[in-house]
């Protein structure tokens, strides 16, 4: 993954590009285990060869329907030639190459598995159409925008919009059976809507007494009123109130207008009753769901539901602007300056789509990022690479992970200290 890998050997000349792009396995390919590192019984494998051949071979070897997550970073078709691979093809060549590979990959996915394909806007449209056809448009889950750079430096002189994003197309094998792990991220600032304090929150909600958060915080801080505290503390008062709210999150609430079309008939009746009794606080018990607390026709929401580890968090959206791409050129101990993906990006994908022990596949392995992250996260993995970087980058990188000497990337976040192993197949 992590780097856009070669669909053909970089030694081939551009004049023979069409032949290379159309290459497909004419018969069943066979791969043999030639070496290993670490645990000799490990099922993890690096496969050196054409990824179409390799995926068809994997299906024959019992991996059909086993892969929980496939991450692929295919050629972006930039029209450029890099030291590691040629990234120039016609649209027709690119599509003819990708279609059978996506079909072979789909056969490896488990029924509750998913595919994450990263691309830029050059081939975004063709790839989306291909995936709609191969995976089924009804199984499309999301299009995630990954902000990888800023509009600074030489980019700032562009006449048109500055290209700073990649896109990750997410498809489930069967959307009805896909159960992603819910993820959150830190909120950039305090949510001012949480502006009410309930001092007696441990009492039955029918007895709750509501006071303005800032007035209560000011009194606790020794001021006569919020206005007095603001005069003394100035702009620091808002930050002080935010800290106070997070520290007392169970006591802090907000009022939110419920969506009538998103709740049951019984809930709508209780909402109507709450409007008729605006001074009362009502609790609707909902077996299997969080109780609905109502006041004045509004839902009463607790700040505690949004605080994790002393910070306010919010659900992950389909815009990822918090994964830094800068400073990763040497991540993993391999130098792949232009096309490597951050370990934190792959970590997020695997956190969302897999659990420990699940199989992860990257058919365009590049510098080995996907397998390195999967190993640190205690997933089983398969990486396929056709180019020479399997030996020059992937094997050494994975060996350092196994040996516990790769201290970069997500090592600390995953508390990884080494272990396991992998085999190399050719």
Residues 25 and 149 in one domain: yes
CATH of the domain at 106: 3.40.50.150
Query: If you average pLDDT over every residue of the chain, what do you get?
Result: 89
Check whether residue 179 and residue 33 sit in a common domain: yes
Residues 240, 221: Cα–Cα separation, whole Å: 10
Q: Is there a single domain that holds both residue 89 and residue 107?
A: yes
Residue 9, domain member (yes or no) = no
Question: Of the residues 265, 288, 315, which one is the last residue of a structural domain?
Answer: 315
Q: Crossing angle of helices 91-108/51-58, nearest 10°?
A: 20
Q: Which residues contact 15 (CB under 8 A, 6 or more apart)?
A: none
The Cα–Cα gap between 181 and 143 comes to 17
- Calpha distance 303→310 (Å, rounded): 11
Q: What is the DSSP letter of 75?
A: -
Q: Which pTM value belongs to this model?
A: 0.81
Instruction: Tell whether 189 is covered by a domain.
Output: no
Q: How many CB atoms lie within 10 A of CB 118?
A: 25
d(CA 281, CA 207): 8
**Residue spans of beta strands (DSSP E) within 55-182:** 67-72, 80-81, 86-87, 109-119, 140-147, 165-172
pLDDT tens profile 56-91: 999 999 999 999 999 999 986 655 555 555 555 678
Indicate whether 292 belongs to any domain: yes
Read off the pLDDT of residues 154-194 as tens digits, 9 standing for 90 and up: 555 666 688 889 999 999 999 999 999 999 999 989 999 99
Distance from C-alpha of 216 to C-alpha of 199, rounded to nearest angstrom: 9
Task: Quote the pLDDT of residue 243.
Answer: 96
pLDDT at 344 (0 to 100): 96
Is the CB of residue 206 less than 8 Å from the CB of residue 180?
no
Burial label for 410, CB within 10 Å (0-12, 13-18, 19+), is buried
Residues 24 and 168 in one domain: yes
Q: Do 307 and 366 have their domain in common?
A: no
- 84-88, 143-147, 336-340, 343-347: least confidently modelled range: 84-88
73, part of any domain: yes
The residue range of the domain holding 223 is: 196-315
Whether residue 172 sits in one domain with residue 57: yes
Domain check: are 45 and 171 in the same one? yes
Number of structural domains, the chain?
Answer: 2
Q: DSSP label at 394? A: I
User: Is residue 253 packed enough to be buried (19+ CB in 10 Å), middle (13-18) or exposed (0-12)?
Assistant: buried
**Residue whose structure tokens are 């996907």:** 370
67-84 in b/e form (b: 16+ CB < 10 A) is bbbbbbbbbbbeeeebeb
Residues 124, 34 share a domain: yes
Last residue of a domain, one of 295, 315, 335: 315
Q: Examine the domain organization and report whether 165 and 26 are in the same domain.
A: yes
Start-end of H helices in 221-354:
226-233, 236-247, 265-276, 343-353
Tell me whether residue 5 is in a domain. Answer: no
Cβ–Cβ under 8 Å, residues 391 and 398: no
Which tokens belong to 181? 């792990």
């Amino acid at each position: 993954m992590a780097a856009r890998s070669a669909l053909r050997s970089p030694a081939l000349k551009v004049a023979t590009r069409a032949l290379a792009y159309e290459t497909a396995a004419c018969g069943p390919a066979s791969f043999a285990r030639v070496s290993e590192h670490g645990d000799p019984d490990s099922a993890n494998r690096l496969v050196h060869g054409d990824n179409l051949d390799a995926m068809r071979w994997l299906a024959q070897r019992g991996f059909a329907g086993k892969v929980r997550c496939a991450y692929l970073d295919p050629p972006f078709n930039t029209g450029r030639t890099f030291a590691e691979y040629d990234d120039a093809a016609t649209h027709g060549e690119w599509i003819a190459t990708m279609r059978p590979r996506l079909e072979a990959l789909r056969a490896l996915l488990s029924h509750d598995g998913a595919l994450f394909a990263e691309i830029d806007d050059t081939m975004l449209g063709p790839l989306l159409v291909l995936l709609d056809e191969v995976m089924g448009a009804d199984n499309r889950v999301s299009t995630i925008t990954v902000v990888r750079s800023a509009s600074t430096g030489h980019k700032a002189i562009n006449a048109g919009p500055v290209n700073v994003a990649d896109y990750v197309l997410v498809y489930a094998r069967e959307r009805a059976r896909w159960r992603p792990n819910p993820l959150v991220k830190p909120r950039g600032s305090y949510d001012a809507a949480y502006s009410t304090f309930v001092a007696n929150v441990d009492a039955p909600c029918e007895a709750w007494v509501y006071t303005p958060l800032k007035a209560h915080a000011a009194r606790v801080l020794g001021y006569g009123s919020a206005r007095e505290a603001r005069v003394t503390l100035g702009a620091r008062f808002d930050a002080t109130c935010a800290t106070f709210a997070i520290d007392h999150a169970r006591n802090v609430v907000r009022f939110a207008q419920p969506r009538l079309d998103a709740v049951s008939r019984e809930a709508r009746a209780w909402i109507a009753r709450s409007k008729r009794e605006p001074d009362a606080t009502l609790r609707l018990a909902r077996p299997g769901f969080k109780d609905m607390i109502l006041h004045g026709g509004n839902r009463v929401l607790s700040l505690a539901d949004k605080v994790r580890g002393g910070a306010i968090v919010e659900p992950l959206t389909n815009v990822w602007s918090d994964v830094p791409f800068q400073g990763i050129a040497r991540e993993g101990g391999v130098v792949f300056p232009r096309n490597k993906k951050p370990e934190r990006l792959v970590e997020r994908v695997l956190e969302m789509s897999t659990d420990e022990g699940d199989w992860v596949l990257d058919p365009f392995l590049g510098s080995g990022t996907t397998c390195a992250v999967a190993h640190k996260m205690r997933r089983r993995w398969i990486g396929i690479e056709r180019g020479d970087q399997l030996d020059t980058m992937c094997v050494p990188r994975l060996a350092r992970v196994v040996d516990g000497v790769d201290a970069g990337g997500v090592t600390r976040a995953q508390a990884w200290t080494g272990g396991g192993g992998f085999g190399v197949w050719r």
